[in-house]
């Protein structure tokens, strides 16, 4: 059996996150462990954020991100806030520099407990997202769900926030769409060779929108930080909104600001639920005070 690693079960606006402490060791959380933890109702999660020792000078930690289907993700905004809160509780720091497979990102814990994560710069080129075929204008691509002559959703804006996102703009209530049925079809549509996170967005003013997201590799979630960033950027890029937007997700409110320096900053809360130890190879786990299951 592998040496156990500490973890904290947390959430970012109901986006279920496991923060795994993999510092001081060279192994990684396996897809099998992720699937086992996801299958247990007590540890069910949307993403695992595995904190490793830094790989690059100037960064404090390398963070590996896994979805609940065991696949890897390049970005997770709500998860990064959970990582910040877990590390701040340990070391009292308020400024953080991380590395992920998508690059280096900075984060800040504010006095009011909210956390801002600089999610980097958005990419709009069809190869960056990526799409399977060329689209010169990714503000609205040809893609639809539902009957050909009466599509339920169509013409999404597509954006890479390190990970692929499609934003479908709607006028009706976001809850009137069967995202649990349409989401997986769009996530796995051949136009997205690496699959995609699927968001329905209703703009409610120049500075606000309501969103629901079907996450690649995780399904319906109460919030998705990178999707909030993608929706905010796409809203501004298509002239629907200003560059600083409040987004209402099922789990609560997030603020996204697309700065003049092209960086996208996501701000919101993070919440600790419980702590434990787990085997990164198998996913066998125990609460801090309990015997192993
Ligand atoms: N919940 C995350 C996004 C998670 C990654 C996504 N499922 C993917 O595979 O790209 C967030 O808060 O950003």
Tell me the pLDDT tens digit for each residue of 199-222.
999 999 999 999 999 999 999 999
Establish whether 67 is an annotated binding residue.
yes
Q: Let me know how long the chain is.
A: 293
Residue 68 dihedral angles phi and psi, to the nearest 5°: -70, -15
Residue ranges of domains in the chain: 5-120+270-287, 126-262
Q: Which two tokens stand for residue 239?
A: 């002239």
pLDDT band at 81 (very low <50, low <70, confident <90, very high): very high
Q: Are 46 and 233 in contact (CB under 8 A)?
A: no
Q: Decide: helix, strand or coil at residue 187.
A: helix
The DSSP bridge pattern shows strands 47-52 and 15-21 to be parallel
Q: Which two tokens stand for residue 277?
A: 């130890």
Q: Are 214 and 197 in contact (CB under 8 A)?
A: yes
pLDDT in tens, 110-127: 999 999 999 999 999 999
Residue 65 pLDDT greater than 60, yes or no: yes
Mutate to test the pocket of ligand 1, among 67, 100, 160, 199 (most ligand atoms within 8 A of CB): 67
Q: What is the mean pLDDT of the chain?
A: 97
As to burial, measured by CB atoms within 10 angstroms (0-12 exposed, 13-18 middle, 19+ buried), residue 60 is: middle
CB-CB neighbours of 193 under 10 Å: 13
Q: Are 101 and 72 in contact (CB under 8 A)?
A: yes
- Provide the ipTM: 0.95
| Ligand 1 pocket residue status of 230, Cβ below 6 Å | no
Q: Which two tokens stand for residue 179?
A: 């995202």
Please name the residue that has the structure tokens 């390190």: 162
Q: Are 122 and 161 in contact (CB under 8 A)?
A: yes
d(CA 93, CA 269): 16
Q: Are 202 and 216 in contact (CB under 8 A)?
A: no
CB-CB neighbours of 186 under 10 Å: 22
Residue 167 dihedral angles phi and psi, to the nearest 5°: -115, 120
CB-CB neighbours of 80 under 10 Å: 30
Q: Does domain 5-120+270-287 have CATH number 3.10.310.10?
A: yes
Q: Is the pTM of this model over 0.95?
A: yes
Q: Decide: helix, strand or coil at residue 86.
A: helix
Average pLDDT over residues 94-98: 98
Please give the pLDDT value at position 289.
78
Residue 10 alpha carbon to ligand 1 centre in Å: 15
| Ligand 1 pocket residue status of 67, Cβ below 6 Å | yes
pLDDT band at 293 (very low <50, low <70, confident <90, very high): very low
CATH T-level topology, domain 126-262:
Diaminopimelate Epimerase; Chain A, domain 1 (3.10.310)
Active-site positions read 76, 224
d(CA 63, CA 186): 28
pLDDT band at 2 (very low <50, low <70, confident <90, very high): confident
* CA 96 vs CA 58, 93, 114, 249: distances in Å: 10, 7, 14, 26
Residue 291 pLDDT greater than 70, yes or no: no
Nearest CA to ligand 1 atom 1: 224
Establish whether 188 is an annotated binding residue.
no
In sequence order, the 6+-apart residues with CB closer than 8 A to the CB of 149 are: none
Q: Indicate if 126-262 has the same CATH topology as 5-120+270-287.
A: yes
Establish whether 197 is an annotated binding residue.
yes
The DSSP bridge pattern shows strands 164-169 and 197-205 to be parallel
Q: Using a pLDDT cut of 70, give the percent of the chain over it.
A: 98
């Amino acid at each position: 059996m592998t040496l156990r690693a500490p973890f904290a079960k947390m959430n970012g606006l109901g986006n279920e996150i496991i923060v795994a402490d993999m510092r001081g060791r060279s192994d990684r959380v396996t897809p099998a462990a992720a699937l086992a933890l996801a299958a247990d109702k007590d540890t069910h999660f949307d993403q695992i954020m595995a904190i490793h020792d830094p790989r690059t000078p100037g960064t404090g930690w390398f963070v590996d991100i896994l979805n609940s289907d065991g696949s890897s993700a390049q970005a997770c905004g709500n998860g990064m806030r959970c990582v910040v809160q877990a590390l701040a509780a340990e070391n009292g720091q308020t400024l953080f520099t991380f590395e992920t497979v998508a690059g280096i990102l900075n984060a800040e814990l504010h006095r009011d407990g909210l956390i801002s994560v600089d999610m980097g710069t958005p990419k709009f080129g069809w190869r960056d997202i990526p799409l399977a075929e060329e689209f010169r204008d990714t503000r609205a691509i040809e893609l639809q769900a539902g009957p050909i002559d009466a599509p339920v959703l169509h013409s999404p804006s597509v954006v890479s926030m390190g990970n692929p996102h499609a934003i479908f703009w709607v006028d009706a209530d976001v809850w009137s769409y069967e995202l649990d049925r349409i989401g997986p079809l769009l996530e796995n549509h051949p136009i997205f060779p690496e699959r995609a996170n699927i968001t329905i967005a209703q703009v409610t003013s120049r500075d606000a929108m309501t969103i629901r997201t079907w996450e690649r590799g995780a399904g319906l979630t109460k919030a998705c930080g990178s999707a909030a960033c993608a929706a905010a950027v796409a809203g501004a890029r298509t002239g629907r909104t200003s560059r600083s937007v409040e987004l209402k997700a099922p789990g609560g409110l997030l603020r996204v600001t697309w700065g003049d320096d092209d960086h996208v900053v996501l701000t919101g809360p993070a919440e600790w639920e419980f702590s434990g130890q787990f085997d990164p190879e198998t996913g066998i786990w125990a609460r801090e005070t309990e015997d192993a299951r």
